[in-house]
Every structure is written in structure tokens, then in C-alpha cells.
Amino acid sequence: MKIGEVIRKYRKQKELTQEEMAKLLGVTAPAVNKWENGNTMPDITLLAPIARLLDVSLNELLSFQNELSAQEIQELTLKAEQIFETQSFDDAYAWVKKQIETYPNCDSLIYCLSLTLESKRFALQTSDNSKYDSFLLGCCERLLSSNDDNFKTAAAGSLYNYYLGKEQYEKAGEYLRFFSTQSLEGKRKQAVLYEKTGETEKAYKEYEEILMSSSQLLSLVFGSLFNLKCKEQDTELAKYYTEKRKLLAELFETGEYSVIAADLELAQFEKDRDKTILCVDKMLKSLDSITGFTAAPLFSHMTFKKADPEFADKMLISMISSFKSEKDFDYMENDPRWNELLNI
């Protein structure tokens, strides 16, 4: 980012037009336009007034290279590693600080160098780790305004952990807003806070919701892996993923139905008529187990909506209709057992 781009960025943040900025600086609007388009540079005597007007430091205003290439960032990070190994910790810290001051808007560099500093101060067991807290916290606060969500959440996580360790739980909780409400890590951090502040029931509920969401996600992932192996006609690994899905259902107590459903998909892939009949028969007889997880100790602190008394009957009709119309069961079409089973 060149100086003109820096001026444009902060002028717009201040909600100033080029004309308004020019008037406040005692220059013409075309002059401001030329700065922003990179055609000319502001006179050196105007740099301080521009910085004051835009509420930025001269250092930031003059950061012609706010962004670095990935290679440049990697080289600076490697150099930081070398300096920490060959020079005193304070000298290395001063070097890191200088690089970040030189490129104050390069989020990638701030993230990489602050991470290096954080890891080295513990690995090298410096005499007073806390003396670097202020600088590292400042780096994290900067990254909270990053356009990169990865940097933003990483910084929020570091700040959360810092204040959690200091037992400043209210302050730690402020950083949870940077995590999506659907984020499992955000929910885990919230659960830890509940635990620390004695809100045990809420902590249980959060942890159990994480387990529930994780089980559903893992089931979908194993199902996708199974489907990939089916497309590749890899029977051995298709069976392998089926066993994993069944173990997952048992681990999270999602009921016998989930276990049978996994076996049925394998039977479909193998076009195994006997196994298909066995699985479908079991599934139709085990519909009540679909909601069995609601009574599992694993989810005892969660509240579930009561099932419709007619749920099982409705599900039975729906499943039979699905089995009849599903093209993947074409191989069962002329099997009398199949027709008998679906005409219950």
C-alpha cells in the first residue's frame, strides 16, 4: 500500500471528501486527488498535519509497504528464528518489534512474528515472561480488526486464554463474540467459562451440545468417505468406513437404527439381497430407537422436543414409500421377500 492509498483509506474512514480534506490542509482538491492516485507525493511539511487530521501515526502514514509477499514474510519469520537462537532475547524482541512497527498493517507479518515471540519466550524460559505481555496483547488487539477471519479468531483465542489464565473471566468472555455462534471451539470456550464461574449446568449443556454436533458432523464425514470408496469400487475400504460409522453410533449412543442404516448402505453397494432384507426388516422394527439418544446419559443436560406420539407410524409409512421408490434398490425388484416386507 502506497502513501496515497493510506491517505484514501483513512480519509474515507473519517468520512471526509477530498474537497473537505484539502480545505483543512490549505491545499487544493486536485492535489489530494493526485496524492491518492499516486501521481504526486505530499510535501514533507504536510505529513504531520495529514497524520493528525487522519488520526494515524507518521509511522503508519509512511508505511509504503503495508503488505508483504508470502515469501518476504517467510524470510522475516525465519530471520526472527535465527536471531532468537543467536542473540539475546531482548535483542531479538527489539528486532521483532521494529519489523512490526515498520509494517504496522501487514497482518500476516504481525501474526507470524508475534507467534514466534510467544513460542520463544516460553521455549527459552526467559526470566520475566510477563514483561512482553503488553506488546503481544497489543498485536492481538490489532489483529482483531483484520480482514482475515483466521487471524481475527486466532487473536481472539489468545486474548481469551490470557484473561482466562488471569481469572479475569468477564474480560475473557468479551472475546467470544469473535467466534461464530455455531463454532464448536467458541462453544467449548464458553463452556470453560461457565465451569470457571460455577455455572455447572450451563457448562454441561454446552459440552453436550458440542458432542451432539460433533457426532452429526463425523457421521456425515464418514458417510462421504464411504460414498467416495463406493464410487471407486473399493469394497475393502467401504467396509472399513462402515465399521467406523457403526462404532461412532455406538460411541455417541445414537441408537440401533444408526448402526443398521450404515450396514444397509453397504448392502446397497454390494447389492447383497439377503443382507438388504435383514437390514430393512431391522430398521422398520427399530424406529423407536431413532430418538433413543435423547435418553442417553451423554446428553442428559440437553432439552429435547417431545416426539409426536404418531412419529413412529408416520416414519414407517415414509420409509416404506422411500424403499419402494429408491432407484438404488432396483436390484431387489424381483425378490418376493422384498415385496412382502414392504407391503406390511
pLDDT digits (tens, 9 = 90+) for 168-218: 999 999 999 999 888 899 999 999 999 999 999 999 999 999 999 999 999
pLDDT value at residue 333: 84
pLDDT value at residue 124: 72
Q: Which of 218-222, 244-248, 268-272, 307-311 has the lowest mean pLDDT?
A: 307-311
Residue 117: partners with Cβ closer than 8 Å, 6 or more residues away = 80, 92, 93, 96, 132, 135, 136
Q: Whose CA is closest to 282, among 303, 302, 267? A: 267
Radius of gyration, CA atoms only, the chain: 31
Q: How many residues does the chain have?
A: 344
Residue 261: partners with Cβ closer than 8 Å, 6 or more residues away = 279, 283
Q: Tell me the C-alpha distance between 25 and 20, whole Å.
A: 9
pLDDT band at 21 (very low <50, low <70, confident <90, very high): very high
pLDDT at 327 over 90: no
pLDDT value at residue 63: 63
Percentage of residues in the chain having pLDDT higher than 70: 97
pLDDT band at 286 (very low <50, low <70, confident <90, very high): confident
| More confident site: 320 or 102 | 320
Which pTM value belongs to this model?
A: 0.73
| More confident site: 160 or 102 | 160
Q: Whose CA is closest to 258, among 291, 212, 236, 307? A: 291
pLDDT value at residue 67: 66
The per-residue pLDDT of the chain, averaged, comes to: 90
Q: ∠72-157-212 over CA atoms, to 5°?
A: 125
